Structure 1
Amino acid sequence: MAAVTWVCPIGGCPVRQGRPGSCPDDLVQLVRERTEPEEPVADPAPGAAGEGDAAPPTGLALDCPWGQLIDIPAEDLEIGRSSPAFRGRGIDPYDQVSRVHARLSWQHGRLTVVDLDSANGTYVDGVKLIPGEPAVLRPGQQLRLGLDVPCKIVQLNEFGEPV
C-alpha cells in the first residue's frame, strides 16, 4: 500500500504532508494526492444504463456561510433561493442568489457545477463560470454564488463530519 500525501489544492503552493489538515499558507483543506497511476475506466457498451458515467463518489458536502452543511447526493442537486436544500435555512438575506442558480452533478465520477444563467454569476475559486458549461469541483475549492455566498466544497469522514 502506497503512502498517502496531502497537498494544497491551490496551484503552485508547495505545501505537502503525510496527514490530512489545512494549508497554513492558503487556509484551505488539503486534498489527497494520487500516488499511483489512474487506470482507465472502460465505458459501458452503447445503450447500457448509465452510459459513460462512473459511480459517483460519496462524502462531499457544501459548507454554506450560514453554518449549513449540505451533503452532495448522487443525483443532480439544483441550488438557489428556491431549492429545497437552501429554502428556509439561511439563504434569505443573500439577495444575489437566483431562485435556480446552479446545478451540482456527477459526470464520469467527478463533481461538476453548471451556472444556470444566474443573474449574478457562479464562481469557482474566484473565476466566473460561463453559463451552461460544467466546471469540475474538488474538496477545498470555493464555490461562490453571486458576490455574497461563498460555499466551500468539503470532504466528509465516515461520520459525516468535515475532515
Structure 2
Amino acid sequence: MNTVTCDCGTEVDLLINSQCPNCGNFDLPPEGSQPVADTPAAGPRGLVVTVRGGRFTVGEDETVGLGRSADYPHAGYFADCDNVSRVHAVLRYSGGAAFVTDTGSANGTYIDDERLIANVERPIIHGQRLRLAADVTIQLEFPSTRSNPPRDAYTRIDPR
C-alpha cells in the first residue's frame, strides 16, 4: 500500500506524489499510519499563505497582521514594498474560512480587483484573489473548501 491520507482528506499515492496535489502539503503522514482517534482526519489544519515567494500558515482561530510593521511577525515579506502600509490589513482564519479586513491602508486591499471598504471584514473564499496595493498578490491555500461563508456575508468591525 503506497497511499496515505493528507490532512485535507485527499488520498495521495506516494509513488506518484511527494506532496498533496490538492493542498500542496509536504508533511504527509508516513505510509500505513492511522490518524489519532481524537484528531479529525480531514479537519482544518490552517490556511497556507504565499506572498512574494515565502509561505506561512495561519492557524485555526488565528489573526495575523499584513504589512510592514515591525510588530507583525511576517513583515519581512513586505519590507521592500513601499506601497504596502505598515499596518495594511488583517487576515483571520476561523472555522475553515478566511476573512480579511483593510485597516485603512493608503493604497487599498482588494479581493478580485474590488477595493475593500476600510475596517469592514470580508470573507475570502477558495479561488478568489487577494491583493495588497497595486501589485502584492497573496495566495491562500485552504485545507478544505467545505466551510466557506456566503460571498455576501459582511461584518462591520471596530479597528481599535
| TM-score normalised by L of structure 1 | 0.55
1:72 aligns with 2:49: no
Q: CA deviation at 1:93?
A: 2.0
Q: Secondary structure at the match of 1:76?
A: strand
Q: Which residue of 2 aligns with 1:41?
A: none
Q: CA RMSD in A?
A: 3.2
Distance (Å, rounded) in 2 between the aligned partners of 1:106 and 1:68: 19
Cα offset, 1:60, TM superposition: 1.4
Match of 1:62 in 2: 49
Question: What is the letter of the counterpart of residue 91 of structure 2?
Answer: L
SS at match of 2:84: coil
TM-score norm. by structure 2 comes to 0.56
Deviation of the 1:156 alpha carbon: 5.0
Cα deviations by residue, 1:91-124 (Å, 9 ceiling, x for unpaired): 2221111101111124565211010000100001
- 1:47-58 to structure 2, matched below 5 A, reads 57-58=44-45
Q: CA deviation at 1:86?
A: 2.5
> How many corresponding residue pairs?
107
Distance 1:138 1:106 in 2: 11
Match of residue 101, structure 2, among 88, 97, 114? 114
Closer/same/farther in 2, CA of residues 63 and 140 from structure 1, 3 Å limit? farther
* Identity score, percent: 35
SS of the residue 2:45 aligns to = coil
1:133 paired residue among 89, 101, 120: 120
Question: Does residue 1:86 correspond to 2:74, yes or no?
Answer: yes
Does the aligned pair in 1 maintain the 2:58–2:93 contact within 8 Å?
no
Displacement after TM superposition at 1:146 (Å): 0.7
- 1:84 is displaced (CA, Å) by 2.9
Deviations 1:8-48 (A, max 9, x none): xxxxxxxxxxxx66xxxxxxxxxxxxxxxxxxxxxxxxxxx
8 Å CA contact 2:88–2:105 kept in 1: the answer is yes
Structure 1: which 5+ runs fail to align? 1-19, 22-55, 158-163
